[in-house]
Structure formats: C-alpha cells, structure tokens
Amino acid sequence: MNVNDDFTKRVVMHGDSLAWEASPMKGVDRRRLDRIDADSDRVTTIVRYAPESKFSSHVHSGGEEFIVLEGVFEDDYGDWPAGSYIRNPPQSSHTPGSKQGCTIFVKLWQFHPDDRTFVHANRFKLGAIPEQDRPGVSVSPLYKDDRENVRFEQWEPGATISIDSSGGAEVFVLKGGFEQGGDTLIKHSWLRMPVASGLAAVAGSEGASVWIKTGHLRHL
C-alpha cells in the first residue's frame, strides 16, 4: 500500500497521533509516514520494538538510516541509546532488536547503490556549530555528499528559520516545535517539502531540536 507517494506535494504527519500497525515480526509495530510499494519498498516509518523483540538477520540492499527516539536499539554493531543516529549503507546486514524496548524513526531504500559509508553518532554527544548566516540556528553535521545533506539542528525560541529545500527536504521534530505553512509541528511531527519549494519556519516558545535531510528528493 502506497502512503504519501506523491512527492510533488507538501506533507505533514504528526507521528504520535497515528495508530500503530503490526509488522510481520511479533512485538514490532510501525507508523508509516511515506511508502512506495515496489520491489525496493522505499519507506519512512516510526517503529516500536516491544521488550525482547527482534527481527531476523537481514541485508539492507538499499541501505537504512534511523534515529533512536526512546529506549535502546541493539544490533551487530552495538547498543544504541536514545539520540543515536545510525546510517547503514547498501549491502550492510544486521540482526536488530531491543531487550528493554525502543522506538526509532527509520528510512529504508533511499541511498545511492554505491554508497558504503557508515555513520554512528549521538545528538547528545555531538557539538553544535552556530550558523553565521542563520541567526538562532546551531548545526550538528551527520552526513553530506553531492546527493544530500543530513544534520541535526537546534533552533532557539522564536527564531525565524530558512532551509534550502530546492532539492526537497524532510524535517523530523525531536524536541520542541515550530510553525510552518499554517501548521504547528510538535515532537515526532514530520514535514516533507517537494523539490523547488521554499521552507520558512518559526521556532516555538521552547525552541526546537530537529533532524533535517535536504537535496535527496531531486534524485527520485
């Protein structure tokens, strides 16, 4: 089933208001934000692992990236607490699960097939660099190439935010919130902006911590 598969449209989804759907693996549920139902099954979801649940070992032919929102995610590469950002490139494999349970924001099948770059980072341990030309914004870079730019950003309360979304953009709220296009985005809200759009926002009274990816949608 396709979900928000028209990438020419702006989309806002409030993750915590969506119903959980069972996955094929017992104890693992999901909230789909977008999905293209094809052989590659390109998908963006919020996934919840019950305590002691796991998936079978598998290869990510199209790569995956995820943020641990709550709990501790575990796989062959380590134990990843809340705040972790993990980028597993195409042809990587693991056996994911969680002894105590966890919730993650995850994207599948959205890498260049030749990409082989792993990234393991945690937003609570990374430093943040103030942006000279964007007042009220500090950035923690995660990954950048000629296809996309991925980072955490911290927005000060009331800051006016401009993001280059000429190549498309996605924003996922980790803490706080912001106003954009007449919508109020809060914790676990997700915004997708199409190619050739403009993205202007105003941070809320508590500011905002967000994950951002830009440039990638022009390669669809």
199 and 112 fall within a common domain = no
Kindly report, residue by residue over 93-110, the tens digit of the pLDDT: 899 999 999 999 999 988
108 and 204 fall within a common domain = no
Percentage of the residues of the chain whose pLDDT score is greater than 90: 84
Q: Are 124 and 83 contacting, i.e. CB atoms less than 8 angstroms apart?
A: yes
26 and 108 fall within a common domain = yes
The reported pTM is: 0.96
Burial classification of residue 201, based on how many CB atoms lie within 10 Å of its CB (0-12 exposed, 13-18 middle, 19 or more buried): buried
Kindly report, residue by residue over 186-197, the tens digit of the pLDDT: 999 999 999 999
In this prediction, residue 172 has a pLDDT band, given cuts at 50, 70 and 90, of very high
Percentage of the residues of the chain whose pLDDT score is greater than 70: 99
Q: Are 173 and 142 contacting, i.e. CB atoms less than 8 angstroms apart?
A: no
Look at strands 189-195 and 149-155 and give their pairing: unpaired
Residue with tokens 């009331």: 158
Residue 112 lies in a domain: yes
Average pLDDT, the chain: 94
Predicted local confidence at residue 41, as pLDDT: 78
CA dihedral over 156, 15, 64, 101, signed as positive or negative: positive
* Count of domains forming the chain: 2
114 and 35 fall within a common domain = yes
69 and 133 fall within a common domain = no
99 and 118 fall within a common domain = yes
Q: How far apart are CA 30 and CA 53, in angstroms?
A: 13
Predicted local confidence at residue 39, as pLDDT: 58
Q: How far, CA to CA in Å, does 209 sit from each of 47, 59, 100, 138? A: 20, 31, 25, 10
Residue with tokens 């134990």: 79
Kindly report, residue by residue over 44-75, the tens digit of the pLDDT: 999 999 999 988 888 888 889 999 999 999 99
Q: How far apart are CA 15 and CA 6, in angstroms?
A: 19
The whole domain housing 118 covers: 18-122
Which domain CATH number covers 153?
Answer: 2.60.120.10
Kindly report, residue by residue over 160-171, the tens digit of the pLDDT: 999 999 999 999
Between 90 and 102, name the one with better pLDDT. Answer: 102
DSSP per-residue string spanning 103-139 = EEEEEES-S-TT----EEEETTTS--EE-TTSTTEEE
In this prediction, residue 174 has a pLDDT band, given cuts at 50, 70 and 90, of very high
Coil, strand, or helix at residue 53?
Answer: strand
Which amino acid is present at 28?
V
209 and 139 fall within a common domain = yes
Kindly report, residue by residue over 197-214, the tens digit of the pLDDT: 999 999 999 999 999 999
Residue after which a domain boundary falls, among 94, 122, 150 = 122
Predicted local confidence at residue 69, as pLDDT: 98
